Amino acid sequence: MLYYLFTYLKETFDLPGAGVFQFITFRAAMALITSLIICLVFGKRLIAMLLKKQVGETVRDLGLAGQSEKAGTPTMGGLIILMGILVPVLLFAKLENIYIVTLLITTVWMGAVGFLDDYIKVFKKDKKGLPGKFKVIGQVGLGIIVGAIFYFNEGVTVKERIQTAQAIETSEGTFQQLPQYGEAEKSLTTTIPFVKDNEFDYSVLISWMGDNYLKWAWLIFIPIVIFIITAVSNGANLTDGIDGLATGTSAIIGVTLGIFAYVSGNIVFADYLNIMYLPNTAELVVFIAAFVGACIGFLWYNTYPAQVFMGDTGSLAIGGIIAVFAIAIRKELLIPILCGIFLIENLSVVMQVSYFKYTKKKYGEGKRIFLMSPLHHHYQKKGYHESKIVTRIWITGIILAVLTFVTLKLR
């Protein structure tokens, strides 16, 4: 909204300084700062209100050290994250941008699914919350919407490079000429890490359907989008088990995705790094700046010992945002690396349950791989303090983020 206001003031009255709102970096910085302020101010008031209404977390006895101390801690704190994202984006982003619109839909949609789950747990006194099948329906529904937007909307395009930028000699010295790109076109091309010609078109997967296979490419693309959104949102949900773990990890992922969005939407950087140039994706930097600000702002109250838990309201939303954002900038195949923490948490649960069922069926007694799953509870069972577990996982997350950057040149 402020972008449009100051653009109008610049064009109509030539207001000094109003032109600064044309710069993505400025609006991203303002979104980050605004998000932090909202989280710190709104968060304090929300926590006080939740305490007053006794909206506390019901903690099952899992035999973990310090677990009893968490009983009664306010939950549904994901509302702080949602507010910290939505308000700055509405203020500073270009709201006609299809990528921004899609991420706003994602935030509200997954936030609503998570809120419904938390509401049932807290106010209906049902510890199970929203049945799992309804969560999956919500994730699948979002996947269909996002997949359809990215496949059918004319604003979601890629520009193919025709000629690499070259330094040419002029009377004033050598300067860099902009690379030459063709017209923006629809494409299902994505990025494959560690491969020299690292672009892959999903439509190739159904090329066996004949000459008109391109018109049916949505049959493969939308299910892939559904799978990614479901996997990442569930991974974030499982990671949200101890104070500050999911929030800090998501902030690291957010910073990484923001850099990718900036270089993918900048014609010079895209050419230099030999990656796809995606028109209009640079605007996503404003969104991800608000996302990172919201995560850090929430972390102010969520670090050990937590004053508030995000609940499914926050964890499902941040997982959905990360998934859709990665798909938007054609980096979804980097998710296993960048979101390696989410992946490991997911796998630890799958492995634990599968092995327990297998051994129970074969030997009559179920056995376990880990002391407890998800994996962070395994280390709690081993006696590690929460703060040590969280800090070490953050460090691991930073290493994974650096490795993700390395894939740009390591091919």
Tens-place pLDDT, residues 394-410: 999 999 999 999 888 77
Q: Specify the pTM.
A: 0.92
Q: How far is CA 31 from the centre of its chain?
A: 17
Distances (CA, A) of 284 to 46, 61, 102, 183, 343: 28, 42, 10, 21, 24
Q: Does a structural domain hold residue 309?
A: yes
Single out the residue of 202, 231, 218, 224 nearest to residue 139, CA to CA: 231
Task: Read off the pLDDT of each residue in 43-50 and give the average, rounded to a whole number.
Answer: 90
146-167 pLDDT per residue, tens = 999 999 999 999 987 765 555 5
pLDDT in tens, 252-293: 999 999 999 999 998 888 888 888 899 999 999 999 999 999
Number of Cβ atoms within 10 Å of the Cβ of 86: 18
Is position 232 within any domain?
A: yes
- Number of domains, the chain: 1
Q: How far apart are CA 189 and CA 279, in angstroms?
A: 14
- The kind and range of the H/E element at 31 are helix 24-52
318 found inside a domain: yes
In a domain, residue 194? The reply is yes
Calculate the CA 235 to chain-centre distance.
Answer: 11
Reply yes or no on whether the pLDDT at 55 is more than 70. Answer: no
Q: What is the pLDDT of residue 40?
A: 94
Mean pLDDT, range 53-81, rounded to an integer: 72
Query: Is residue 387 domain-resident?
Result: no
What pLDDT was estimated at residue 312? 93
Q: Is the pLDDT of residue 349 over 80?
A: yes
Percent of the chain with pLDDT over 90: 61
Position 327 scores a pLDDT of 97
The DSSP letter of residue 124 is S
Domain contains 198: yes
> What is residue 175's predicted lDDT score, i.e. its pLDDT?
54
For residue 115, what pLDDT band results from cuts at 50, 70 and 90?
A: very high
Measured CA to CA, the distance from residue 188 to residue 214 in angstroms comes to 10
Tell me which residue of 142, 383, 341 sits closest to 253, measured CA to CA: 341
> What residue type is assigned to position 295 of the chain?
C
Whether residue 5 is predicted with pLDDT greater than 70 in this model: the reply is yes
* Residue-range definition of the domain harbouring residue 150: 24-59+71-332
Answer yes or no: is pLDDT of 211 > 70: yes
Residue 374, in any domain of the structure: no
The reported pLDDT for the residue numbered 173 is 54
Task: Tell me which residue of 195, 260, 251 sits closest to 409, measured CA to CA.
Answer: 195
Q: Considering the domain boundaries, does residue 404 fall inside one?
A: no
Q: What one-letter code names the amino acid at 79? A: L
Peptide linkage before 374 cis (omega within 30 of 0): yes
Q: Range with the lowest mean pLDDT among 57-71, 121-135, 224-238, 275-289?
A: 57-71
pLDDT at 244 over 70: yes
